Chains A and B, each alone.
Chain A
Amino acid sequence: MSAAILPPFWPLVEAHGDELLVHARRIAGDAQGEDVLQDALLRALRAYPRLRHAEHLRAWLYRVTTTTALDHLRARRREVLTAEPPPIVVEPGHYDDGFETLIGVLPETAQAALRLRFVEDLDYDGIATRLGCSAVAARQRVSTAIRTLRTQGIPA
């Protein structure tokens, strides 16, 4: 028996599935979006009965989708790396499979923007307030950081 009374899972998918797909595509690329979402929702189902409370379920689904999308990016990156010598040598042994490690290769301002977006689940106005910049600039920082991760920065 789980400690929390959790709502049935599928209505959450019906309520948030479309925005999660957009999110998955934004991080992992259009072609990977559906695979990422499927993988993310199965991961979410595996973890669901162990959740301690039923609050912030949308933000939780965003987090699971973010992690899954970054894992997919990393796996693809690894395929590329095995095909050719790695351009950058990443120190082995410090990889903890976490979000922080994934974004660790980015500049601090980019890391901060991603944390506010995907860990704290803030919208761009919220991120702008925290970073002391405009909402447009906040959106730009997030999207540039994601683009950087997608094109080069995923540590193997």
Chain B
Amino acid sequence: MTLPARLLDAIASAAVREGLADAVYTRLNTPIGTLLVVQGERGVVRLGFPEESADLLLAQVAARLGPRIVASDRELAATRDVLSAYFEGDDERLDVPVDLSLVRSDFRRSALTALREEVGPGDVVTYGGLAAKVGRPKAARAIGSACATNPVPIIVPCHRVLPGSGGVGSYAGGPDRKRRLLAHEGTLVR
């Protein structure tokens, strides 16, 4: 693409200003790779790891929020700052609005909401422990599915959910990334 960046920025910002954007996305370089962050009117709706297809990911958002999706680093500056502050260790709270409308069941949504509200940086919980928090102590496997399909990893911290049997368990971004995120937060996993 050869369009000047300032022209693309101007177009994207004008689209947002005029209420023509269903969602905005940005790519952010981090120590765990380049993340794709998509945000709608209500908050971050999707966060993608580098291995995920950007086309599929944006199509997934388009199907839910609408096809008028534009790219803009400037319009997502606040969200970029919050994520950067997390990776730089300045502020690990990741205090940014999240939109869980890509989550397909109420149970999964309530599990992810509880996880975000109750398991802060430096903390961990087991699948069974999180199941108990949402009043379904036997639903550890369902919690596993909720984490595996978490549309907003890192911000909704499914990396802090570990198997009760020990080890780091699985992760949408791969177990290595999970281990690195936990180490970054000061949690050591066997």
Contact = CB atoms under 8 A, between A and B. Distances in A.
Interface of A: 2, 5-11, 13-15, 17-18, 21, 34, 37-38, 41-42, 45-46, 48-49
Contacts of B90: none
Given A7-B59, A8-B59, A38-B14, A17 B1 contact: yes
A59 B2 CA distance: 19
Nearest to A51: B67
29 contacts: A7-B62, A8-B58, A8-B61, A9-B67, A9-B68, A10-B25, A13-B3, A14-B1, A15-B1, A18-B2, A21-B3, A21-B7, A34-B4, A37-B7, A37-B11, A38-B10, A38-B11, A38-B14, A41-B11, A41-B15, A42-B15, A42-B18, A45-B15, A45-B21, A45-B68, A45-B70, A46-B20, A49-B66, A49-B67
Contact count band on B: 20 to 34
Interface in B69-113: 69-71
Nearest to A38: B11
A48 B22 CA distance: 11
Given A38-B11, A41-B11, A42-B20, A9 B69 contact: yes
Given A34-B7, A42-B20, A48 B68 contact: yes
A59 B4 CA distance: 22
B55 interface: yes
Shortest 10 CB-CB contacts between residues of A and residues of B: A6-B67, A8-B58, A8-B69, A17-B3, A45-B20, A18-B2, A8-B62, A10-B71, A10-B70, A14-B1
A38 B18 CA distance: 13
A49 B59 CA distance: 14
A11 B67 contact: no
Nearest to A6: B67
B132 interface: no
A50 to B, nearest CB: 11
B8 interface: yes
Contacts of B59: 7-8
Nearest to B10: A38
Interface in B9-34: 10-12, 14-15, 18, 20-21, 25
Interface string B50-67: 000001001101110011
A18 B1 contact: yes
Given A38-B11, A42-B11, 5 more contacts: A9-B68, A37-B7, A37-B11, A41-B11, A45-B20
Contacts of B2: 18
A10 B4 CA distance: 15
Contact of A5 (B15, B61, B63, B68): B63
Nearest to B4: A34
Contacts of A15: 1
B161 to A, nearest CB: 30
